[in-house]
Structure 1
Amino acid sequence: MPKLDKLGFDEMIIISKKMFYGGFAFLPFLWLVNFLYFFQQTRKPSAPKQLKHYVYLSLGGCLLWFIVLTTWYGIFVNERTYWGALGDKLTVVIPKGS
């Protein structure tokens, strides 16, 4: 990624927009990277609203994915044994060698 001080706001918006839409390809960490990479630029008074829009939507998407995955993990770990054959099919067990 290029250094932000060498980019204009138009180029930042293009990169942020690509990273935002790339997050919809089941890449929630791309949203996190987008937020962390451009957050300092959104704090500037001259930052365009469109850049702020993509950066903060990326943060929201990342948090939503975190909540969904954490909830699924909690349910799966605590309820898997009650699901019978379905729970066994969803479980990946790597056998130990002798």
Structure 2
Amino acid sequence: MPKLEKMSSEEHVNISKKMFYGGFAFLPLLWLVNFLYFFRTSREATAPKALKKYIYLSLGGCMVWFVLLTTWYGLFVNRRSAWGQTADRITVVIPKGL
């Protein structure tokens, strides 16, 4: 990505918007990158409100994904044996070679 200092405010908003909508394609890491990449820029006094909106929505989306994935992981690890065949079907087991 180009240096932030060389881009205009409109370009900041445009890139942040694209990264925000890209995160809806099951890419929560893109939301985190969007937040981290534009955080300093959004703290400036001249930062557009749209930029702040997109980076904080990206942070919120990333946090929601994190909570959902860790909840699913906790449930799966603790209840896998009780689920029987259903859990076996959704588990990926890589067979060991000879």
Give the deviation of 1:97 after TM superposition: 1.3
Superimposed CA distance per residue, residues 29-77 of structure 1 (whole angstroms, 9 cap, x where no aligned partner): 0000000000000110111110000000000000100000000000001
Give the deviation of 1:86 after TM superposition: 0.2
Distance in 1 separating the partners of 2:87 and 2:24: 28
In the alignment, structure 2 segments of 5+ residues that lack a partner are none
Superimposed CA distance per residue, residues 1-32 of structure 1 (whole angstroms, 9 cap, x where no aligned partner): 11000001100000000000000000000000
Q: Secondary structure at the match of 2:12?
A: helix
Q: Which residue of 1 aligns with 2:50?
A: 50
Q: Which residue of 1 aligns with 2:59?
A: 59
Distance in 1 separating the partners of 2:78 and 2:94: 20
- Aligned residue type for 1:25: A
Q: Which residue of 1 aligns with 2:22?
A: 22
In the alignment, structure 1 segments of 5+ residues that lack a partner are none
TM-score, length-scaled by structure 2: 0.98
TM-score, length-scaled by structure 1: 0.98
Q: CA RMSD in A?
A: 0.5
Q: Secondary structure at the match of 1:38?
A: helix
Q: How does 1:1-98 map onto structure 2 within 5 Å?
A: 1-98=1-98
- Aligned residue type for 1:65: W
